[in-house]
Amino acid sequence: AQSVAQPEDQVNVAEGNPLTVKCTYSVSGNPYLFWYVQYPNRGLQFLLKYITGDNLVKGSYGFEAEFNKSQTSFHLKKPSALVSDSALYFCAVRDGGSQGNLIFGKGTKLSVKP
């Protein structure tokens, strides 16, 4: 069975500091990994994905994520946080062979203070 774990309900960061939002996964086949962001009153948006290739993937708004196969992790990172990054972040996974059936984590609320 596929599953995603986001161990932190909330992450608090000062503006300008680096941020990390953690995600670990379990999938039977090749993992397709994703990060989405949900801004207040703006719906859910795709940030980035990992399918194959370089373990460090870059996405929208300066975010990046590092795929670690041995630790089954896909942590979201940004070198310098902005107040406008404050939102709800979701990690998602699917098996490469199961198109359409994304499994989402429970979400992590990121709060960036000035």
Partner 1 sequence: DGGITQSPKYLFRKEGQNVTLSCEQNLNHDAMYWYRQDPGQGLRLIYYSQIVNDFQKGDIAEGYSVSREKKESFPLTVTSAQKNPTAFYLCASSPSAGDEETQYFGPGTRLLVL
Summarize as ranges the residues that interact with partner 1 (CB under 8 A).
4, 6, 9, 32, 34, 43-46, 49, 90, 92, 99-107
* Residues composing the chain: 114
**Cβ distance to partner 1 smaller for residue 18 or 29:** 29
Question: Nearest distance from residue 104's CB to partner 1, in Å?
Answer: 4
Looking at the Cβ atoms of 10 and 71, the one nearer to partner 1 is: 10
C-alpha pair distances (Å), 76 with each of 35, 41, 90? 8, 22, 10
- Which CB atom, from 50 or from 81, has the smaller least distance to partner 1? 50
Q: How far is CA 42 from the centre of its chain?
A: 18
In the complex, minimum distance from the CB of residue 90 to partner 1, in angstroms, rounded to a whole number: 6
- Shortest Cβ 44–partner 1 spacing (Å): 4
36 token code pair: 């989405």
Cα 97 to Cα 29, 47, 100, distances in angstroms: 8, 22, 10
